[in-house]
Amino acid sequence: MVASPLLADLRAVLGDDAVLTDPDLLRMHERDEADLCASGTPLVVVRPHGTDEVVGVVRAAARYGVPVVPQGARTGLAGAANAVDGAIVLSTVAMDRILEIDPVGRIAVVQPGVVNATLAGAVRREGLYYPPDPGSWESSTIGGNVSTNAGGMCCVKYGVTTEYVLGLEVVLASGEVLRTGRRTAKGVAGYDLTRLFVGSEGTLGVITEVTVALRPAPEASLTLVAVYNSTAEAGVAVAEIAAKGLTPSLLELLDRTHLAAIEAYQPMGLRTDAQALLLAAVDTGSRAAEDLARIAEVCEAAGADEVYAATDAAEAAALLQARRLAHPAMEKFAADAYPGGNGGLIIDDVAVPRGSLAALLDGVARIAEECDVPIGVVGHAGDGNMHPNIVVDRADPASLDRGRRAFDEIMRLGLELGGTCTGEHGVGLLKRDWLAREIGPVGVRVHQAIKAALDPEGLFNPGKVL
Ligand SMILES: Cc1cc2nc3c(=O)[nH]c(=O)nc-3n(C[C@H](O)[C@H](O)[C@H](O)COP(=O)(O)OP(=O)(O)OC[C@H]3O[C@@H](n4cnc5c(N)ncnc54)[C@H](O)[C@@H]3O)c2cc1C
């Protein structure tokens, strides 16, 4: 039994307060936000404050052969942060310091537990901008965002997390500390190890410091809404906006199910009779009004029933807030859909080339009918990245089977359309089979070789990704 000596070693490294074994707390750290993914009960949750303490935790784990599951805020949607039985959960909540903001170099250096919105707010006060803005930005951490390569609403114009990660500090399974990347505007020395760790979902090491690139603060944005009687027409509008060379700073789609769910959750005056709503914004400064008018024209030409611009910043913010409510609103909608609050969601995250968005939306509607399950669709339409949310009755095995079949059919369709099984949520537990199909046997072997080289004993986040 390794528990007692391991706990004693962890207490020697971290002190008693940062080594937690309270059963309620252990339960709290069992899983992320992904419904219907397996999870285990950790032996202990540790909350290191700095790199040296993480090194101590990893060395102790290696000594006793106990797995380490890194956790940020556990907002993940693929089960990637789920504990395995007997593991050490390494929570980064106490590593929450912004170490540096350099307006000249346009970089910030942060510990991994810094919450996205905290960093975004701190750099905004310096006139700077950290664009990646997952819907969870008020709670998710930079370490989690980097480890999942998170996207968000601004990413259609500004790119996803990886575009902003310049360098990392990572504690390896050997207990050594690796520094990757740079602080400079340019730099090409060696293999791009930074990108190897971005999106690695805690399977290759513990990220203990992140150097991010910043941009000058953008101009104020103008926002419009286009209402459609079919989701596929909205998909056509998205492709046309791209084809015309327009660069919206936000281009999001909500389908009828989500509009109804949001209105039920928090009435906001959304058109619940519509099949789809496109939300678009531009932040092109003096050209913004002209660009918004061009997007409105494209939306109308694609068959919009109604197009209207937000009259002021407050209305634009309310529309954005409606989009941000999609996840909790849909969770409530699903829970209420079946007796006893037993409804659950299988959240999908498929990305296709923009030109194939309409085909994806049509296909999801067909799959919902064929599998006889309700599916609501929401997502980052401008990136071709949709979240078909499949509503299932957790208490009914037949409903779960139909939901899982729909999930697989959507994955299959996404790959057939030249897309990927995950645009931003990651592989975690949810999509291991689909990752293997997407990257093929050679891709799997290369993944396994990298894992074996960096983590030969399989210490970090076992069972995730591969
Ligand atoms: C309401 C809602 C909206 C969302 N919207 C979006 C969205 O728009 N775009 C998007 O991409 N995602 C979105 N997500 C998913 C989720 O918020 C992101 O995946 C986020 O990046 C996870 O961050 P976290 O801090 O919660 O990490 P966790 O969920 O705790 O962990 C995620 C993964 O990162 C690993 N990890 C965490 N910290 C470290 C570290 N320091 N070192 C090594 N590995 C680490 C974990 O092991 C795990 O594999 C949303 C989730 C919710 C609940």
Q: Per-residue confidence of the chain (466 residues) as pLDDT tens digits?
A: 577 999 999 999 999 999 999 999 999 999 999 988 999 999 999 999 999 999 999 999 999 999 999 999 999 999 999 999 999 999 999 999 999 999 999 999 999 999 999 999 999 999 999 999 999 999 999 999 999 999 999 999 999 999 999 999 999 999 999 999 999 999 999 999 999 999 999 999 999 999 999 999 999 999 999 999 999 999 999 999 999 999 999 999 999 999 999 999 999 999 999 999 999 999 999 999 999 999 999 999 999 999 999 999 999 999 999 999 999 999 999 999 998 889 999 999 999 999 999 999 999 999 999 999 999 999 999 999 999 999 999 999 999 999 999 999 999 999 999 999 999 999 999 999 999 999 999 999 999 999 999 999 999 999 999 9
Q: How many residues does the chain have?
A: 466
CA 145 to ligand 1 center in whole angstroms? 5
Q: Is 81 in the pocket of ligand 1 (CB under 6 A)?
A: yes
Q: What are the phi and psi torsion angles at 89 (to 5°)?
A: -85, 120
Asked if residues 466 and 435 have their Cβ atoms less than 8 Å apart, the reply is yes
Closest CA to 376 of 367, 384, 129, 25: 367
Cα–Cα distance for residue pair 129/107, rounded to 1 Å: 10
Cα–Cα distance for residue pair 248/380, rounded to 1 Å: 12
For position 339, what pLDDT does the model report?
A: 83
Q: Is 135 in the pocket of ligand 1 (CB under 6 A)?
A: yes
- Find the angle CA(280)-CA(281)-CA(282) to the nearest 5 degrees: 135
71 CA: nearest ligand 1 atom: 30
140 CA: nearest ligand 1 atom: 25
Cα–Cα distance for residue pair 81/125, rounded to 1 Å: 32
Closest CA to 429 of 37, 29, 42: 37
- Which residue owns the Cα nearest ligand 1 atom 44? 202
Cα–Cα distance for residue pair 237/381, rounded to 1 Å: 10
Cα–Cα distance for residue pair 402/391, rounded to 1 Å: 10
CA 147 to ligand 1 center in whole angstroms? 7
For position 276, what pLDDT does the model report?
A: 96
Asked if residues 342 and 395 have their Cβ atoms less than 8 Å apart, the reply is yes
Cα 302 from chain centre: 30
For position 1, what pLDDT does the model report?
A: 55
The pTM is what?
0.97
Q: Is 258 in the pocket of ligand 1 (CB under 6 A)?
A: no
For position 114, what pLDDT does the model report?
A: 99
How does DSSP assign 11-40, residue by residue?
HHHH-GGGEE--HHHHHHTS--S-TT----
Q: Is 327 in the pocket of ligand 1 (CB under 6 A)?
A: yes
Residue 356: both structure tokens together: 């194939």
- Find the angle CA(42)-CA(46)-CA(48) to the nearest 5 degrees: 155
Q: Is 200 in the pocket of ligand 1 (CB under 6 A)?
A: no
Longest dimension (CA), the chain: 69
